[in-house]
Amino acid sequence: MNIVRSKVAALLTGAALAAFTLPASAQSASEVDALRAQVKELLTRIEKLEKAPAAPVAGAAAGAPNKADAPLVAADVFKAPQVAQSGNNKVKLTVSGQIGRAVIVADDGFDSDAIHGDNATASSRIRLAGQAKLDDNWTAGTDIEFETSSASTRNTGFGTDSGAFSINERKVEFWVQHKSFGRLWVGQGDTATNQTSEVDLSGTSTLISHSDIGATFGGIAFRNKATRAAGVTVNNAFNNFDGLHREDRVRYDTPTFGGGFVGSASFTEGGATDGAIRYNSKIGDTEIAAAIAYADNDSRTGFDTQTNGSVSVKFANGFNVTAAAGTRDLGPRNSDFWYGKLGYIAKLTSVGNSAFVVDYFTQEDFAAVGADAKAWSVGYVQTVDAFASDFYVSFRNHSYDTPAADFKDVYGVITGARVRF
């Protein structure tokens, strides 16, 4: 560019000098001034061209930087949303999960302690879900979900190592679904009866005030009033007979029928079978959800058969009521439980819903013949939509007695948060 500029400038300068040497009769003063202005303008244009960036090489996109000068990572990458991408471009992959941490201050009648743990009702976990669509009728998918729990509140008690960490499989399964024929699941996952004792529209059940009493203060032991000796733990004194939980199984769900009903059945590893009917619908502005289930444990240890169910109703004004019950055949005896809850949901602030609840649970003959276990609680959950989080606090009291011994009540406060992603 400098060589071109020099040659052009020399030619223009020569032309200007020639003009200056012409006889006065050949040109006027105004013509000389005009020629000088043109020479100056041309030199200015040449200077601008010299400072301009080089033209892109042949084949490069217009406006793209030279390859040698391109940054390793474009600046816009750091501003773009993070997207999970499957190794198979036919499958949509979703990554999700939550962190559920809690602090408990509890008293067993003789001693008190603070427990830092992972809320077993809303345990920390990560999930990868894949889904692919064949056509308007057929879809298929996969689920891999692991619980990553540090000091689960179901097992952590006084003096327990709060640093205990575990990784547990919740789901490792695939499914195929047809709109008219239903869905078939294969692998580790929810049996047909799982969560049938836990149908709940209160907005609190996945954190506190849950029919699964042992999930929050579960590792704390009842203390004998006379001897101070530790007896059964809270987790082992209560059970809501919530189906066959999660198992390696084959499960089938029907399409929705009758305005909100879905039927399910599963056959598990070890020979146990179960079935359930669920209902979820609205009557006017009132939401109704319910489930009833039956399980045959076959030759597996623990129990023979059980029947259980739950129902929850939420009214347009925010008030809600929930009930659950079940009976289990333990061989030499039967054990029954009853559970009731009254709640209220309102949007008191702009940050999200506020949920208030009080509940009561009673059970007989579960941990021992003649055992009588009761629990009640009050609680509050505040959802913060902008954080995708739920903050909570609850007080719960547990009592337990047998014909042979009386035990001190276990009571305490649990508070914490679930952060979803």
Q: Are residues 179 and 226 in the same domain?
A: yes
Q: What is the pLDDT of residues 309-343, one digit of tens each?
A: 999 999 999 999 999 999 999 988 999 999 999 99
**pLDDT reported for residue 161:** 62
Give the pLDDT score at 30: 62
Choose the final residue of a domain: 69, 86, 108: 69
Q: Is residue 91 part of a domain?
A: no
Q: Give pLDDT, residue 55.
A: 46
User: Does 174 share its domain with 44?
Assistant: no
Residue 75 forms part of a structural domain: no
Both 114 and 23 in one domain: the answer is no
Residue-wise pLDDT tens digits, 82-127: 557 777 788 899 999 999 999 999 999 999 999 999 999 999 999 9
The whole-number average pLDDT for the span 362-378 is 97
Q: Which residue has the higher pLDDT, 55 or 244?
A: 244
Average confidence (pLDDT) over 134-158: 94
Q: What is the mean pLDDT of the chain?
A: 86
**Segment 206-246, tens digit of pLDDT:** 999 989 999 999 999 999 999 999 999 999 999 999 999 99
- For the segment 57-94, what is each residue's pLDDT rounded down to a tens digit? 443 333 333 333 333 333 333 344 555 777 778 889 99
Same domain, 356 and 412: yes
Domain membership flag for residue 88: no
- Number of folded domains that form the chain: 2
If asked whether residues 197 and 310 sit together in one domain, one would say yes
Is the pLDDT at 24 greater than 60? The verdict is no
Digit-coded pLDDT (tens) for 171-180: 999 999 999 9
Q: Mean pLDDT across the stretch 245-254?
A: 96
Q: Which comes out higher in pLDDT, residue 186 or 67? A: 186
Domain range spanning residue 7? 2-69
Q: What mean pLDDT comes out for the span 272-276?
A: 96
pLDDT tens, residue by residue, 259-270: 999 999 999 988
pLDDT at 160: 76
Q: What percent of the chain has pLDDT over 70?
A: 80
Q: Region 131-150: what's the mean pLDDT?
A: 94
Q: What is the pLDDT of residue 166?
A: 83
Asked if 279 and 361 sit in the same domain, the reply is yes
Residue 373 CA to residue 238 CA, distance in Å, equals: 7
Does residue 114 belong to any structural domain of this protein?
yes
Same domain, 409 and 287: yes
Does position 3 have pLDDT exceeding 60, yes or no?
Answer: no
Asked if 240 and 350 sit in the same domain, the reply is yes
Task: Name the domain boundary from 48, 69, 90.
Answer: 69
Task: Tell whether 63 and 191 lie within a shared domain.
Answer: no
- On whether both 46 and 116 belong to a single domain, the answer is no
* pLDDT at site 125: 96
pLDDT at 242: 95
The CATH number linked to 220 is 2.40.160.10
The Cα 257–Cα 170 span in angstroms is 29
Q: Are residues 36 and 142 in the same domain?
A: no
pTM (predicted TM-score): 0.77
Tell me: do 64 and 157 sit in the same domain. Answer: no
